[in-house]
């Protein structure tokens, strides 16, 4: 019997791009350059209370939770990476990864919490 909250391939409708970031060596040394490392489709939704608690624990604001098909060895999401949601409403915005939760019993999907503004 399937769980009615179970994600299926049909739910993965929104293109997302994962980026690594490096600090560029420039005059001020503060410019950031992004390098595309992986592209896929995701289910994008508002963060759950559990995701918000995880974000709070690292002094960040949870903005979105995304679920992607587990890319296995093709790409391993990292909390040093950023995600761009390919939706006109979020054009060009890169969201930092706060938390990555793979499913160990069934290697089908990975849940990723994306942050917004990080408080200093």
Domains in the chain: ranges and CATH: 11-118 (2.40.10.270)
Cβ–Cβ < 8 Å for 21, 75: no
Per-residue pLDDT of the chain (120 residues; tens, 9 = 90+): 344 457 777 789 999 999 998 877 666 666 778 999 999 999 999 999 999 998 888 888 889 999 999 999 999 999 999 999 999 998 889 999 999 998 777 789 999 999 985 443
Q: What is the pTM of this model?
A: 0.84
- In our burial notation (b when 16+ CB lie closer than 10 A, e otherwise), range 7-37 reads beeeebebebbbbeeeeeeeeeeeeeeeeee
């Amino acid at each position: 019997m399937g769980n009615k909250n179970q994600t299926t391939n049909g739910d993965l409708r929104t293109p997302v791009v994962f980026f690594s970031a490096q600090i560029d060596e420039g005059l001020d040394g503060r410019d950031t350059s992004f390098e595309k490392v992986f592209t896929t489709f995701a289910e994008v939704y508002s963060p759950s209370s559990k995701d918000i608690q995880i974000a709070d624990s690292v002094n960040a604001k949870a903005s979105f939770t995304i679920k992607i098909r587990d890319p296995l060895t093709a790409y391993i999401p990292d909390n040093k990476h950023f995600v761009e949601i390919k939706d006109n409403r979020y054009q060009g915005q890169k969201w930092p990864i706060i938390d990555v939760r793979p499913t160990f019993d069934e290697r089908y999907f990975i849940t990723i919490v994306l942050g917004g503004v990080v408080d200093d």
